[in-house]
Structure 1
Amino acid sequence: MPRLLKAAYGVGQLAKGIEHGAMNLFVLFYFQQVLGVPGWIVGLGLGASLILDAITDPLMGWLSDRTTHRWGRRHPWMIASALPLGICFALLFSPPDLGPVALGAWAITWLIATRLALTVFFVPHLALGVELATDHDERTRVQAWRVFFTYLGSALVVLGARAVFLAPSEAYPDGQLDPSGYPPLGLTFGAIMVFAVLGSAVGTWSIRHPKARIADIPGLIETISGPLRNRPFRIFITSLLLFFVARGVGMALEVYLGTYFWALGPDAVALPGLTLLGVLVGTPLWALVAHRAEKRTAYLSGMALYATTWSLPPLLELAGAFPGGPARLPTLLAVSFVGGLGGAAAVVSGASMLADITDVHEAQTGQRIEGVFFGALSFGRKAATGLGGLAAGLLLTTIDFPEQATPGTIEARTVAALGIAAGPGAGILVLIALAMGWRYPLTRAQHRQLQSSLTRELRSDAQDGAPDPPGS
């Protein structure tokens, strides 16, 4: 497959990356610490919006699979989502002057609207990626391009916030506490999302008529329940959901850790930036590992690395064994980078593993429903991340973490509880996810044998449906 086509496909995921970075890193912090909304309200909003939005993902996949439009099954939805997505994202970060409860309602409203608009693009776009490639290793490379642009979008949010919108000033030495920086951040990145979505749709226009392998898709309930009867899918999705719950907790509290636990001041925003840089560097590296080893091996190795880098530093700090002084910030940046390397493996290999699982389902049922499978993945990821965000908000309330707090004024026991919750607490969940993922059964040899069988069946069906030769 031409690299330009893979890049055109991947660039659409800038929109997902921007949403992902902003929602996980700034929404809770902005509304709770900057605007003074109680943490439990914001956490409830993050969790509820994601779970409500997630319910629509399998439905969106089913609708996309059934679409018969002259633009294809995926492109009509991608194009329709662009403008609403940018507008809703901009409004989320531009609330009027309201009280805490009303601000919480504003956040919930535009969180839901933004994520619904993103679903209309994201699920068909994921399914389109499966249709681009059928080769076992080429699928990993396609997913690597997608993941690269996803985290490039998140990196742009973090770096843009640090350098432009939330830069330190005389009034706000900790720039992330400046309320005036968030509305232009929302407007700017909302516009980038619009152009990324439309650019991907135009760039992949040449493959807008993928050949469906089935003539009819079953009813909604039957179609959605089908993946749950697939053993590799059940193992895979359980493992990945546990990972995303852990990551949701960690990402929602990462700025808190940098600001209050590590006391980095304005440099706190650099931690998620180095995590994202690690993902960007790790994406092609893990694609190479998955080409030379089993996808499961890459998937589990990355999870183990991620769990280690999240769990150990807070424990070492509380034990007095973590580097201090001038070495403190570089060490934390290096740890964040390595954690990003590990997280990349789960995302790159995981998406490619799911693409292979769609072939297992086709072999078992004769149904080609990429949209439903990736809709289920999106559902699980959003629901799990929502639970992580909800857990983060509830944890802040449980440990009596104050709103609009000034670094250095919080009780030591509260700061220690924050470090344990965001570090080892999230790391334990990742280890459980790793143990579940160990049971994933599909190997490269099994998948290639399966694809050969599907190819023979497809050719047989084509020959059976061909007209009889003249004179027969």
Structure 2
Amino acid sequence: MTDATAAALPARVRRGYGLGSVATGTFGTVPGLLLLPYLTDTLGVAAVLAGVIVFLPKAWDVVLNPVAGRISDRSTHPAGRRHPFLLRGGLALALFFALMFAGPSEPTGLAAAWVVVTFLLCATAYAFFQVPYVAMPAELTLDYDERTRLMTWRVAILAVAILLSGATAPMVVDAVGKDSPAGYRLMGLYVAVILVVGVVGAWWGTRGAPEHRVETPSGSFRDQLRLVAGSADFRPLLLTFVLQALGVGTMLAGVAYVADDVLDTTAAATILFAAFVGPALLVTPLWERYSRTRTKRSGYVLATLAMVVGMLLIGAALPGLPALAYAGAAVVGVGYAGAQVFPMAMLPDVAARDAARTGENRVGVFTGVWTAGETLGLALGPAVFALVLAAGGYVSSSAEVDVTQSDGTVLAIRLGFTLLPAAIVAASLLALRGYRLDEEIRRGPA
């Protein structure tokens, strides 16, 4: 490892890079939180079909993300290999997000088709922002510990973005009228503004940042995918992160339903989000300190266990002990902060080690496959929760109709929100056992 002072990035670059998390946190949160209830409770789309609608555009991203990574790997733009993509992809994302909730509310078929098309455009724009953005740390610094410090800034800002967007977006909708199409249109514009702030901040803050270039990889795209897939440390790290994205996505999709049908108060959604994200602002620097004396892998394990414990605590507390449920959400938030800091710092370690070994820069392909996996997990989350709703007999409705769900449906919501994601996240630890790069880096050259 290099000397810490020599390897340190300018504070402006750390802050600027972190601002990109305003966009990634917002787009990763709001659709997962509000799009499914928008479809089922405002447009009247059946739960299973709504799950398909939420999933399909994200499935497209699974295919597109590695392609976006390959394109950015081959970029020769004078402003930087990745940097120009931030502004182009990010501004397009903000535009299409606002349009997604600006379509017709009836007839149901036309309204659903509008959401599918605009969400597909959102997913496409997001791929060309997210993949180059995630690829940047491996080229901004070659230092193992500096990447963790960079991720600490990113995750701290990510927590603020999730809190801001996740807590306030439902409030914007409710301010106009619960499940109101007009409320969703206003929310779409509001969130688009947040996206623009993050995108422009990241683009502006990282201009002129250092870029440690390695030769563009040779061979076909298929060859590059095969080489990335052959990385012994990338495979377990990716599978762990995908499973956790699935668990978190499933839980996120259930927030609005828990608030409305289990706790019977729309304010619960905001409180759950505040309880989930607030502690992350405090503990993220502590996770970074942990990694200085121990391995990132061990920190990742500890953070994952905290998420599982918090989810189980929420499950035990609902519906009779809401205060205890909020405390459980705080424990999940503590774990979630670490479960973002560590893997997002481990990914550039894997890509940089591959570049050092081969002399070719495949970081875009690595991050393309990584974000494809994350996208798949987050997309499957709402789809899985939609299946839980359908299995529990959930009754969809339009904005003008208020439906009381059965006891069986309420139980399905509780289990889908707590025990199911806890089991998925716990299973991810089995995959993480195969990651060994931390020990190799700490030992140094043989």
Give your verdict on TM over 0.5: yes
Is residue 2:156 matched to residue 1:148? yes
Structure 1 counterpart of 2:205: 203
Q: Equivalent of 2:426, from 420, 431, 434? A: 431
Structure 1 counterpart of 2:3: none
Unaligned runs of 5+ in 1: 454-472
Q: Give 1 or 2 for the bigger CA radius of gyration.
A: 1
Deviation at 1:285, TM superposition (A): 2.2
C-alpha distance 101-55 of structure 1, shift in aligned 2 (>3 A): same
The answer on whether the counterparts of 2:310 and 2:330 sit within 8 Å (CA) in structure 1 is no
Indicate the RMSD between aligned Cα atoms, in angstroms. Answer: 2.2
Structure 1 counterpart of 2:63: 55
Pairs within 5 Å for 1:410-429: 410-429=405-424
Deviation at 1:228, TM superposition (A): 1.0
Is residue 2:354 matched to residue 1:361? yes
C-alpha separation in 1, matches of 2:91 and 2:404: 43
Aligned letter for 1:431? A
Q: Equivalent of 1:80, from 88, 91, 95? A: 88
Between 61-70 and 217-226, report the one with greater CA deviation: 217-226
C-alpha distance 45-14 of structure 1, shift in aligned 2 (>3 A): same
Pairs within 5 Å for 1:294-309: 294-309=295-310
Aligned letter for 1:393? A
The answer on whether the counterparts of 1:315 and 1:420 sit within 8 Å (CA) in structure 2 is no
Deviation at 1:215, TM superposition (A): 5.0
Measured against aligned partners, the alpha-carbon deviations of 1:275-305 in whole angstroms (never above 9, x if no partner) come to 1223333322212222222101110111111
Is residue 2:229 matched to residue 1:225? no
Q: Equivalent of 1:91, from 91, 96, 99? A: 99
The answer on whether the counterparts of 2:314 and 2:324 sit within 8 Å (CA) in structure 1 is no
The answer on whether the counterparts of 2:60 and 2:123 sit within 8 Å (CA) in structure 1 is no
The answer on whether the counterparts of 2:314 and 2:326 sit within 8 Å (CA) in structure 1 is no
C-alpha separation in 1, matches of 2:405 and 2:341: 39
Structure 1 counterpart of 2:363: 370
Between 222-231 and 152-161, report the one with greater CA deviation: 152-161
Deviation at 1:123, TM superposition (A): 0.9
The answer on whether the counterparts of 1:275 and 1:340 sit within 8 Å (CA) in structure 2 is yes
C-alpha distance 408-97 of structure 1, shift in aligned 2 (>3 A): closer
The answer on whether the counterparts of 1:258 and 1:265 sit within 8 Å (CA) in structure 2 is yes
Structure 2 counterpart of 1:291: 292
The answer on whether the counterparts of 2:313 and 2:324 sit within 8 Å (CA) in structure 1 is no
Helix, strand or coil for the counterpart of 1:73?
coil
Aligned letter for 2:426? L
C-alpha separation in 2, matches of 1:133 and 1:414: 50
The answer on whether the counterparts of 1:259 and 1:407 sit within 8 Å (CA) in structure 2 is no
Deviation at 1:448, TM superposition (A): 5.0
C-alpha separation in 1, matches of 2:214 and 2:94: 34
Measured against aligned partners, the alpha-carbon deviations of 1:320-352 in whole angstroms (never above 9, x if no partner) come to xx7x4xxx4432222212111111111110111
Deviation at 1:221, TM superposition (A): 1.0
Deviation at 1:368, TM superposition (A): 2.1
4+ residue segments displaced more than 4 Å: 162-165, 405-408
C-alpha separation in 1, matches of 2:272 and 2:39: 20
Deviation at 1:316, TM superposition (A): 4.8
Helix, strand or coil for the counterpart of 2:339?
helix
Helix, strand or coil for the counterpart of 1:205?
coil
Measured against aligned partners, the alpha-carbon deviations of 1:214-242 in whole angstroms (never above 9, x if no partner) come to 25443211112211111111111111111
Structure 2 counterpart of 1:330: 323
Helix, strand or coil for the counterpart of 1:69?
coil
Deviation at 1:103, TM superposition (A): 1.7
Aligned letter for 1:205? R
Structure 2 counterpart of 1:463: none
Structure 2 counterpart of 1:341: 334
Q: Equivalent of 1:379, from 355, 372, 384? A: 372
Between 135-144 and 397-406, report the one with greater CA deviation: 397-406
Aligned letter for 2:344? A
Helix, strand or coil for the counterpart of 2:76?
coil
Unaligned runs of 5+ in 2: 1-8
Structure 1 counterpart of 2:6: none
C-alpha separation in 1, matches of 2:379 and 2:418: 18
The answer on whether the counterparts of 1:243 and 1:430 sit within 8 Å (CA) in structure 2 is yes
Measured against aligned partners, the alpha-carbon deviations of 1:75-95 in whole angstroms (never above 9, x if no partner) come to 222222233111100011212
Pairs within 5 Å for 1:19-418: 19-167=27-175, 172=177, 175=178, 177-207=179-209, 210-317=211-318, 324=320, 328-404=321-397, 409-418=404-413
C-alpha separation in 2, matches of 1:260 and 1:60: 40
The answer on whether the counterparts of 2:217 and 2:361 sit within 8 Å (CA) in structure 1 is no
Deviation at 1:190, TM superposition (A): 0.8
C-alpha distance 57-404 of structure 1, shift in aligned 2 (>3 A): same
C-alpha separation in 2, matches of 1:279 and 1:24: 20
The answer on whether the counterparts of 1:255 and 1:268 sit within 8 Å (CA) in structure 2 is yes
- When normalised by structure 1's length, the TM-score is 0.87
- When normalised by structure 2's length, the TM-score is 0.92
Between 177-186 and 105-114, report the one with greater CA deviation: 177-186
C-alpha distance 350-443 of structure 1, shift in aligned 2 (>3 A): same
Helix, strand or coil for the counterpart of 2:395?
coil
The answer on whether the counterparts of 2:307 and 2:336 sit within 8 Å (CA) in structure 1 is yes
Deviation at 1:3, TM superposition (A): 2.0
C-alpha separation in 1, matches of 2:437 and 2:89: 35
C-alpha separation in 2, matches of 1:115 and 1:266: 30
Deviation at 1:193, TM superposition (A): 1.4
C-alpha distance 408-335 of structure 1, shift in aligned 2 (>3 A): farther
Pairs within 5 Å for 1:442-461: 442-444=437-439, 446-448=440-442
C-alpha separation in 2, matches of 1:187 and 1:81: 18
Aligned letter for 2:213? A
Seq. identity, % = 26
Aligned letter for 2:195? M
Structure 2 counterpart of 1:459: none
Aligned letter for 1:195? V
What is the number of residues matched between the two proteins?
436
Deviation at 1:366, TM superposition (A): 2.6
